[in-house]
Structure 1
């Protein structure tokens, strides 16, 4: 079954899997609890990480079902979070100017805000995109 407007990209999912032994792909696909477990156990001692290589297509489909497409692109926001998150660039992209400035001045609230956003970024984007969709209807 094809998803008409996929929100996550399979290529980005597999690229995150390369760092999956620290849970990157699980955070990307909206699984923060198992992402955290993978982070502290090196992908469940690398075994879960290898198994996930085959589970990523299913994770991608599940994320597309849970996520709402809209003006904020999940892939762009995740790339900005991963590479520039301590500077709040992902928050500027999502229109959260004040918290973006706060992250910029405090290095992502000394890293705690960065970790919070790893846990909640998909939900934050879904809320923004859902609000934008409702305004358009």
Structure 2
């Protein structure tokens, strides 16, 4: 039986926790959108939840690896690009979405609203792309 490749990496989870943890980036990375939104609105539940998450990241990583589909497009690369260059559409260019990448580049991530949308949907976008490439179907740009 072939083992599935890891989709999410613990060091990337800690990177996102460190640089954007009070905004819930690490929680969005692990597919926990509702608590990510809660962290975003409460500064990581007033920093206490942010500190507790330092101990919970390995478990969140295991859950994400079981939940999402591996493939050519790497979740960690997409998330790091979005965290540091999201308003310029770097993560969209990486996923082969050239049209929306250019749109993000010209509008600073649709004035930030597109990047917020991607916080909630990026794992699904990458998983969908990996499913399409695994089946050999052409992926629309």
**TM-score tier (shorter):** over 0.9
Task: Give the TM-score normalised by structure 2.
Answer: 0.90
Query: How far is 1:4 from its partner?
Result: 3.9
Dislocated runs of 4+, deviation >2 Å? none
In 2, the alpha carbon distance for the partners of 1:100 and 1:50 equals 34
1:1-137 superposed matches below 5 A:
4-18=4-18, 19-135=20-136
Q: Answer with 79-88 or 45-54: which moved more.
A: 45-54
Query: How far is 1:22 from its partner?
Result: 1.6
Report the secondary structure of 1:7's partner residue: coil
Number of aligned positions between the proteins: 134
Could you list the runs of 5+ residues in structure 2 that have no partner in the other structure? none
- Over the aligned positions, Cα root-mean-square deviation in angstroms equals 1.3
In 2, the alpha carbon distance for the partners of 1:50 and 1:94 equals 32
Are the equivalent residues in 1 in contact too, given 2:4–2:70 (CA < 8 A)?
no
In 1, the alpha carbon distance for the partners of 2:124 and 2:7 equals 12
Q: Answer with 110-119 or 11-20: which moved more.
A: 11-20
